[in-house]
Amino acid sequence: MQSLFGDEDFSPQSASLSFADVILPVPIPRMFTYKIPRNLLSEIQIGARVIVQFGRKKILTGIIGKVHNKAPQAYEAKPILEVLDIQPSVNPLQIRFWVWMSEYYCCHIGEVMFAALPSGLRLSSESKVQSNPNFDRENASYPMDEREDKILDALEQNSELSYEDCEKVLGIKTIHPILKSLVAKEAILIFEKVQEKYTPKIETRVRLTAEFVSDRKILETLFEELAKKPKQESILLKYLRDVPIFNSPELNEKGLDKSKLLEEGDSESSLKTLIKNGVFESFKKLINRIGEVEPEKEAAKLSTSQAQAVQEIKGHFEDKNTVLLHGITGSGKTEIYIQLIREVLESGSQVLLLLPEIALTTQIVNRLQQVFGSKMGVYHSKYSDNERVEVWNGVLSGRFSFVVGVRSSIFLPFDSLGLIIVDEEHESSYKQFDPAPRFQARDAAIMLAYFHQAKTLLGSATPSFETYYNASKGKYGYVQLTSRFGESALPEFHLANLAADRKKNLLKLDSTRLLREKIQEALGKNEQVLIFQNRRGYSPYIQCEDCGWTGQCVQCDVSLTYHQFAEELRCHYCGYKEKVPSDCSACGSTQLSTMGMGTERIEESLILLFPEARMGRMDLDTTRSKYGYQRILDEFSAGQIDILVGTQMITKGLDFGRVTVVGIWDGDRILNFPDFRAGERAYQQITQVAGRAGRRSEKGQVVIQSRNPEHPLFEQVIRGDYDAFFRKEMMDRKQFFYPPYVKLVKITTRHSDHKTAEKAAIALHRQMAQIAVKKIVLGPEKGLIGRIKNQYQFESLIKLERSGTTQTTFKEKLGEILQELQAIPAFRSVRWIVDVDPS
Ligand SMILES: Nc1ncnc2c1ncn2[C@@H]1O[C@H](COP(=O)(O)OP(=O)(O)OP(=O)(O)O)[C@@H](O)[C@H]1O
Ligand SMILES: [Zn+2]
């Protein structure tokens, strides 16, 4: 990958620099240029927040992206009004990364900023002022002047003020120096919407006043006094039980959470009396939401082949930036990561480990936490915004030198990464679909590492074709692990013929005899079973058996999905829902049946077939809550579930020793991805889910149910020769111009009027055809789903030559074309969505 960014000077100002490009929270393609007033010159730093005017009236907070001396051509630069930060919260490397991302993925830099900052730190098109929750006005360390006091008074009446409100309060226009001073005195915060602001967690604690700790006698006297006041005595005893000050008096300092002290039913008024009498004192403490954990286990001793892999990886890093670790399922990649992470941390650099999804993180995170304790931060989508801000700040302060996270963790404020590891690098969930930036976190991580001059390790049992291709060309280093850790072997595969069983009347509730036998065997030996059903693109729906009618969304051209639990039909695109009808809306027939098998139906069938087994289900519906995954995985791991039915979620990286049978409920469904990656995805999916079986001494059994067991792909997976499979598939990719031989860009044109959408798409198509680079432009075609949320959509697909200049030129021109088209009155409300490297 080549830097699209050039090597411009990113160091802060020299005397001649008089302009600053500011990243604004508004949808404009580029940064906007402002003049730097002399008096602010010494405070201007890349990454600092500044207050600026935008348009005629708007006052916004933005972030300085670049400092230079080129006056803008198209407009007169306005001056920066104020600089808010002495210590920027975003560093120059991050800005550089944002710029690269906005250029590579063809989106606004403001959109990247929006994705990058946790909303507690985010800027929006209307900045707000709130009082700083840590600020204690009575005991402030700095004096406030009259105007500052006025703002603070106003903030006692209102939880938030806009810049305009502040102007009104003071009756003057130049409020910015006052706000700045208040920020510096830590009296206010400037942020976006109030409901998303960061709130520190504060606990009320109590402790014994000092005299009782320093002198044992005084404490004894106190006990004598309290002998007649049992309620107060009980509180004192409880405190001493939880805070053993006799052995370690220093513990008193930290005290005890007040609610904990009262949780066993002691009376609050007795505690109040104790405080009033000076026995206890109450104080407030700022609590880390992310608790401290001590490392409890050593890293494992590596096997010979693991140790060798580590050496090979390090060897490749001597002259390559990126290495692929291709290790079969269960080969022990995690321990290899741990070894490398430790070495990099010891050298003083930071490490980021990316994981595709939270379902996966629980097991690995636990393992890593055992080794790294609180040095490690965790960053994922189920975290509350406050927790995210704390991880962000922890990276800034150096508390976390190592972070494990999902794709958004590439935006954390690292300043000296040494290594990025992308586990399960083939996972499609590394790609963000919506909204912009539509980035591929694996690819972006490689770029991020480049900016930090760090190394990237990509790990997978079934590498993506892009990665494998780069490895085969020698661009990436390649390290292989071909055996499982310890005694375990790869599982044995069986193909179960659905059609044949149906003919012979052996099929029961869509399960073949072979699958039933294998499950029964496992249950008999007290082993566990995983049943996998691919969800993507196949949801259960309701159909009329007489006329073929199916429930359709009123706003989108899609069938409604049947949700058995809620007895509802729902649209997965816009959220529309309705009750399941009792008869067909078209012909009135009452013969409605459910088509397509969801996990819910499979679970039901299995309950009927194995009434004695304890069932569990893991899919979107059962894992919505914050700890949903965790709970199911814990139950499974504790052996409280015998058969676990699930979607893609159960395939990824799970490591359970007692799983011996894996059933693939509908193998044919996996083959039918609607795109050129069908083969690659099917191979990956089957191999990954099969890889959950037999990870200890007992050999695993994998049963694939299919109507078409002769399909060559099954045979290839069973043989496990990834290289041969890759070579064969790549012939098609080459012949039909698909990645990795070309780069794809998909552009969707959307409008509420069908004709306008079509016209706009055709206009775009014509213009794109003119761009003078090697390319193929396909479409525009009506989208796979023609209408979403009442917006009609047309899609164009562009295949670009792989060269860096071709891509840069095309993207630059595309940006200009879209701007021109947008300026045409008829197309003003048309939306264009550009997706670079769609997956
Ligand atoms: N050096 C070691 N010492 C002890 N146990 C190990 C060692 N290496 C691996 N293991 C164990 O082997 C099992 C498989 O390892 P791991 O989960 O890391 O495999 P993996 O390569 O990530 O597989 P997958 O691609 O299927 O996720 C785990 O239970 C792990 O604890
Ligand atoms: Zn809909």
Q: Which residues pair with 324 in a beta bridge?
A: 458, 478
Residues 102, 138 within the same domain: no
Residue with the nearest Cα to atom 10 of ligand 1? 332
Q: Is the CB of 350 under 6 A from ligand 1?
A: no
Q: Is the CB of 335 under 6 A from ligand 1?
A: yes
Residue with the nearest Cα to atom 8 of ligand 1? 332
Q: Is the CB of 467 under 6 A from ligand 1?
A: no
Q: Is the CB of 651 under 6 A from ligand 1?
A: no
Residues 658, 700 within the same domain: yes
Determine contact, residues 837/442, Cβ cutoff 8 Å: no
**Residue to probe by mutation, ligand 1, list 301, 363, 655, 662, most atoms within 8 Å of CB:** 655
Residue with the nearest Cα to atom 30 of ligand 1? 332
Closest ligand, as measured to the CA of 684: 1
Q: How far lies 825's CA from each of 507, 526, 683, 752, 820, in Å?
A: 62, 69, 48, 15, 10
Q: Is the CB of 329 under 6 A from ligand 1?
A: yes
Residue 234, exposed/middle/buried by CB under 10 A (0-12, 13-18, 19+)? middle
Residue with the nearest Cα to atom 26 of ligand 1? 329
Residues 591, 603 within the same domain: no
In the annotated binding site, the residues are 544, 547, 553, 556, 571, 574, 584, 587
Closest ligand, as measured to the CA of 785: 2
Q: Is the CB of 418 under 6 A from ligand 1?
A: no
Q: Is the CB of 333 under 6 A from ligand 1?
A: yes
Residue with the nearest Cα to atom 22 of ligand 1? 333
Which of 116, 139, 167 is the last residue before a domain boundary?
A: 116
Distance 789 CA to ligand 2 centre (A): 6
Residues 75, 89 within the same domain: yes
**Residue to probe by mutation, ligand 1, list 335, 360, 423, 684, most atoms within 8 Å of CB:** 335
Nearest partner of 314 among 467, 457, 510, judged by Cα: 457
Residues 448, 316 within the same domain: yes
Ligand 1 atom with the smallest distance to the CA of 334 is: 18
Calpha distance 22→31 (Å, rounded): 5
Rounding to the nearest 10 degrees, give the CA dihedral for residues 517, 518, 523, 526.
140
Residues 766, 669 within the same domain: no
The reply to whether omega before 780 is within 30° of 0 (cis) is yes
| DSSP per-residue string spanning 492-522 | EEEEEEHHHHHHTT--BTTB-HHHHHHHHHH
In the annotated binding site for Zn(2+), the residues are 544, 547, 553, 556, 571, 574, 584, 587
- Phi, psi (degrees; rounded to nearest 5) at 287: -105, 135
Q: Is the CB of 330 under 6 A from ligand 1?
A: yes
Q: Is the CB of 691 under 6 A from ligand 1?
A: yes
Closest ligand, as measured to the CA of 575: 2
Q: Tell me the CATH number at 112.
A: 3.40.1440.60
Distance 464 CA to ligand 1 centre (A): 21
Is residue 563 in some structural domain?
A: yes
Calpha distance 146→140 (Å, rounded): 15
Distance 71 CA to ligand 2 centre (A): 48
Token pair for 531? 């049943």
Calpha distance 392→373 (Å, rounded): 17
Which of 442, 459, 481 is the last residue before a domain boundary?
A: 481
ipTM more than 0.90?
Answer: yes
Mean pLDDT of each 10-residue bin along the chain, 839 residues long = 39 65 88 93 89 83 91 92 84 96 95 85 72 79 88 87 88 86 84 49 84 83 87 88 83 86 82 90 75 72 95 97 94 95 96 82 82 88 76 90 94 96 94 93 98 97 96 97 85 93 90 96 95 70 78 79 79 80 85 74 92 90 76 90 91 83 90 78 92 87 93 91 93 91 95 95 95 91 80 92 91 94 94 93
Is residue 781 in some structural domain?
A: yes
**What angle do the packed helices 333-346 and 304-317 form, to 10 degrees?**
50
Please tell me the total count of domains within the chain.
Answer: 7
Is residue 14 in some structural domain?
A: no
Determine contact, residues 531/617, Cβ cutoff 8 Å: no
Give the helix/strand (H/E) hosting 725. Answer: helix 722-735
Q: Is the CB of 363 under 6 A from ligand 1?
A: no
Distance 522 CA to ligand 2 centre (A): 42
Q: Is the CB of 334 under 6 A from ligand 1?
A: yes
Q: Could you list the residue range(s) of the whole structural domain that residue 253 is in?
A: 201-287
Residue with the nearest Cα to atom 24 of ligand 1? 329
Q: Is the CB of 328 under 6 A from ligand 1?
A: no
Which of 140, 173, 191 is the last residue before a domain boundary?
A: 191
- Phi, psi (degrees; rounded to nearest 5) at 524: -60, -30
Residue with the nearest Cα to atom 15 of ligand 1? 332
Is residue 360 in some structural domain?
A: yes
Ligand 1 atom with the smallest distance to the CA of 424 is: 25
Q: Is the CB of 653 under 6 A from ligand 1?
A: yes
Distance 593 CA to ligand 2 centre (A): 21
Calpha distance 452→436 (Å, rounded): 24
Q: Is the CB of 647 under 6 A from ligand 1?
A: no
Distance 331 CA to ligand 1 centre (A): 6
Residues 205, 158 within the same domain: no
Calpha distance 437→443 (Å, rounded): 13
Q: Is the CB of 603 under 6 A from ligand 1?
A: no
Is residue 704 in some structural domain?
A: yes
Residues 765, 806 within the same domain: yes
Ligand 1 atom with the smallest distance to the CA of 481 is: 21
Neighbouring residues of 376: CB distance < 8 A, sequence distance ≥ 6: 368, 369, 400, 402, 403, 404
Nearest partner of 62 among 72, 73, 74, 51, judged by Cα: 51
Closest ligand, as measured to the CA of 310: 1
Residues 332, 409 within the same domain: yes
Distance 47 CA to ligand 1 centre (A): 41
What pLDDT was estimated at residue 819? Answer: 92
Give the helix/strand (H/E) hosting 468. Answer: helix 465-472
Residues 467, 388 within the same domain: yes
Residues 238, 378 within the same domain: no
Q: Tell me the CATH number at 808.
A: 3.30.70.600
Q: Tell me the CATH number at 622.
A: 3.40.50.300
Is residue 31 in some structural domain?
A: yes
* Helix (H/G/I), strand (E/B), else coil: 479: strand
In 158-227, where does DSSP find H-type helix?
163-170, 176-184, 210-214, 216-226
Is residue 196 in some structural domain?
A: no
**Residue to probe by mutation, ligand 1, list 485, 488, 684, most atoms within 8 Å of CB:** 485
Q: Is the CB of 461 under 6 A from ligand 1?
A: yes
Calpha distance 336→316 (Å, rounded): 15
Closest ligand, as measured to the CA of 659: 1
What pLDDT was estimated at residue 464? Answer: 96
**Residue to probe by mutation, ligand 1, list 313, 324, 325, 334, most atoms within 8 Å of CB:** 334
Neighbouring residues of 407: CB distance < 8 A, sequence distance ≥ 6: 354, 356, 429, 430, 432, 439, 441
Distance 140 CA to ligand 2 centre (A): 54
Residues 276, 387 within the same domain: no
Is residue 736 in some structural domain?
A: no
Distance 517 CA to ligand 1 centre (A): 29
Q: Is the CB of 684 under 6 A from ligand 1?
A: no
Residue with the nearest Cα to atom 11 of ligand 1? 332
